[in-house]
Amino acid sequence: MLEFARWKYILVAAVLLLALVFALPNFFGEDMALQIARKDRTAIDAAGQQSIEAVLQEDGVPYKSAFIDNGRVMVLFDGTVNQLRGRDAVGGKLANDYVSAMARASRAPNAFRSIGLRPMPLGLDLRGGLYLLYEVDLNGAISQLIGSYEQDFRRALSAKNLTFSDVVPVTDDNGAAVGVRVLFPEGTDLSAARAAMQAVAVDLSMDTGDGAVRYVEARLTSVQLLERQRNAIQQNIVTLRNRVGELGVSEPIVQQQGADRIVVQLPGVQNSAEVKDILGKVATLEFRLTDTQNSVQEAVARGRAPLGSRLYYHRERNGVRQPTLLKRELIATGDQLIDATSTVGQDGPAVSIRLNAQAGDEMLRITQANVGRPMAVVLIEQATEKSTVDGQVVERKVTTQDVISEATIRGVFGNQFNITGLTQGEARDLALLMRSGQLAAPLSIVNERVIGPSLGEASIKAGVTALIIGMAALFIFMIIYYHLFGVVASMVLMANVVLLTALLSMMKASLSLPGIAGILLTVGMAVDANVIIYERIREELRAGMTPQAAIRAGFEKAFSAILDSNVTAALAGLMLWVFGTGPIRSFAIVLTLGIGTSMFTALLGSRALLTLIYGGRKKPARLAIG
């Protein structure tokens, strides 16, 4: 007698029902939407949603609905025109507090969203958007690290009252920075200087020169150079992800490609100029005291600053750049910053800064000793400029150092204070850059592509059409060749697609064109398993077995062949999943999950249906298997 345990029926039914629930949001389609988030990263409440809707209503922008999703407001529109009008309205009246990004949102009912059910996100090739390939300047990462050591050496030597004449970079044969050399005048105790420098850089190799030029040289080891380069790429990836999050882009992809490149994919992004400007900007802050003892005009006339000071210029205002003299000694830098938010105070737009404990203690010490004296904030930005020389495109690194704020210290403060003297836009961008973290190395764009949404829609239609035609052809073939068993196989294939869709939705794995190819391959593999089982049943029937015994033997004897073939394919898929990137990884995810769902549906789902049809005490005379 052909039997199937009751708990197995319950398991199959429960899994399929759960899969259907998770897969349903994918079948409602999408609307054009605007994703709105607060700039200070706090969650938007009902009052915030009402203020956003009020702005849209005041500007006469029609919208379908609005709801709060993970602390952000999603506003749905019936077309691109109204979506653009909504973006302009929010950007015009709520730019101080909110940032918006154009996106798409599911039409699924609120009940699905309230219990966390969402459709699978679509990749860049299906949704359209911005593709950026950055190259990391690894030598720049080394230079930044050496620059931080230089500042540490200056502080340590000053604290020990050791006078030095200059600090110069040390380079290798290729001209890349690998360390610093501190020059000392006659009579300096080089042993004491070396000990002071070693105390703040215990991991660097130190050399001392006591000849015509007296110096202490600190170099990074080859291991440290490689480690710094690896860390620079990882830190840049984290920083880019933070900046993308600050811009409000939904479902971004930021990942390493090769040894020194980073891929950024931003589905649905259309304001590419603003995004590129923010993402690739290498910026940091420096806090320095103003030199009030020397004349700025004399320094400008001589073209150089006096010993212990540097000549800077304020950011251009009304076509004028005012010069100023600042002390060389740093008080704090941007890498010691914990948080930054844009605010509006009595002095106009400002950035509220919070430093870590070490920088806060130094700021407290400096302000206590310099009340009534001015302090400046220097913004350092690095960029790559391209120019044509003799018909060839040449890139060069450009560093700008602008004083963005210079104000008198009115009272003692530590790790929390405001930077004033900025415009509203400058305060907003500066807070975003500082809050998202510093880039550990400069970036340059190697490849940039803007993929239109029409390409994504065409790809989706082509993929869905291929899936429908392919499955329809399989269904027809299976039904003609295996009769009733072919109908069962077709139902199992449909269940397999539902299961796979549900898993991708649960994992929030982005579906791309390679993923659609993986679904098609999975359907083919699922058919393979059913064909192996059915052919085995036919063999048992030809050998004289009864129909029920043939079904039971067919499943039992086909199991090892199905398992062997699927395990080897799953191992290949897992390796591609773990080590692959981009399209390869997308394909591998779908393939690996599809192998699991096809085995479940073929071995359990198919057997459950056939047992319902042919099981029980009534023994069938023959099987409709062709």
Give the domain ranges of the chain. 6-25+457-614, 30-107, 138-224, 282-438
C-alpha to C-alpha distances, 502 to 118, 374, 577, 593, 596, nearest whole angstrom: 10, 62, 19, 11, 13
pLDDT band at residue 62 under the 50/70/90 scheme: very high
pLDDT recorded at residue 29: 80
Pair of tokens at residue 13:
């039914």
> CA-CA distance, 284 to 439, in Å (whole number)?
9
- Across the range 352-366, mean pLDDT stands at 84
Could you count the other beta carbons within 10 Å of the beta carbon of residue 595?
25
- Across the range 321-340, mean pLDDT stands at 82
Sign of dihedral through CA atoms 484, 485, 490, 495? positive
**pLDDT tens, residue by residue, 379-433:** 887 666 666 666 666 666 677 888 888 888 888 888 788 777 777 767 777 777 6
SS3 93: helix
> CA-CA distance, 525 to 545, in Å (whole number)?
28
User: DSSP E strands: which ranges in 9-52?
Assistant: 30-38
- Across the range 320-324, mean pLDDT stands at 87
- What's the topology of domain 282-438? Gyrase A; domain 2 (3.30.1360)
Higher pLDDT, 101 or 81: 81
- The rounded mean pLDDT for the chain is 82
> CA-CA distance, 439 to 474, in Å (whole number)?
52
pLDDT band at residue 446 under the 50/70/90 scheme: confident
Give residue 287's region: left, alpha or beta (phi > 0; psi -120 to 50).
beta
> Which residues fall within 8 angstroms of residue 263, CB to CB, at 6 or more apart?
131, 132, 133, 134, 253, 254, 255, 256, 257, 581, 582
Could you count the other beta carbons within 10 Å of the beta carbon of residue 256?
15
**pLDDT tens, residue by residue, 177-230:** 888 899 988 888 888 989 998 888 877 888 888 777 889 999 888 888 888 888
> Which residues fall within 8 angstroms of residue 48, CB to CB, at 6 or more apart?
38, 73
**pLDDT tens, residue by residue, 370-387:** 888 888 888 887 666 666
C-alpha to C-alpha distances, 424 to 92, 268, 341, 350, nearest whole angstrom: 13, 27, 12, 8
SS3 75: strand
> CA-CA distance, 319 to 567, in Å (whole number)?
69
Q: Which among 515, 618, 439, 472 has a CA at the least distance from the CA of 126? A: 515
pLDDT recorded at residue 437: 66
pLDDT recorded at residue 17: 92
The answer, yes or no, to whether residue 501 has pLDDT greater than 80, is yes
The answer, yes or no, to whether residue 1 has pLDDT greater than 60, is no
> CA-CA distance, 265 to 281, in Å (whole number)?
17
pLDDT recorded at residue 562: 85
**pLDDT tens, residue by residue, 44-57:** 888 888 999 998 99
- What's the topology of domain 6-25+457-614? Multidrug efflux transporter AcrB transmembrane fold (1.20.1640)
> What is the per-residue burial (b if ≥16 Cβ within 10 Å, else e) of 103-141?
bbbbebeeebbeeebbbbbbbbbbbbbbbbbbbbbbbbb
The dotted CATH code for 30-107 is 3.30.70.260
The answer, yes or no, to whether residue 70 has pLDDT greater than 80, is no
> CA-CA distance, 254 to 243, in Å (whole number)?
11
**pLDDT tens, residue by residue, 78-99:** 888 888 888 888 877 887 778 7
Per DSSP, what are the bridge partners of residue 263? 133, 255
pLDDT recorded at residue 18: 92
Are 360 and 337 a contacting pair, CB within 8 Å?
A: no
Higher pLDDT, 408 or 277: 408
Are 64 and 79 a contacting pair, CB within 8 Å?
A: no
pLDDT recorded at residue 14: 92
Are 358 and 338 a contacting pair, CB within 8 Å?
A: no
The answer, yes or no, to whether residue 269 has pLDDT greater than 60, is yes
**pLDDT tens, residue by residue, 568-614:** 888 888 888 888 766 788 788 888 898 889 888 888 888 888 888 88
> CA-CA distance, 391 to 137, in Å (whole number)?
24
Pair of tokens at residue 183:
């020059």
- Across the range 130-135, mean pLDDT stands at 84
pLDDT recorded at residue 87: 82
Give residue 188's region: left, alpha or beta (phi > 0; psi -120 to 50).
beta
User: DSSP E strands: which ranges in 502-583?
Assistant: none
**pLDDT tens, residue by residue, 522-558:** 887 888 888 888 889 899 888 888 888 888 888 888 8
Are 460 and 453 a contacting pair, CB within 8 Å?
A: no
SS3 336: helix
Phi then psi for 517, rounded to 5 degrees?
-60, -35
Q: Determine what percent of the chain is predicted with pLDDT higher than 70.
A: 90
Whether 30-107 and 6-25+457-614 are alike in CATH topology: the answer is: no
Are 194 and 206 a contacting pair, CB within 8 Å?
A: yes
pTM (predicted TM-score): 0.59
pLDDT recorded at residue 239: 81
- Across the range 275-300, mean pLDDT stands at 80
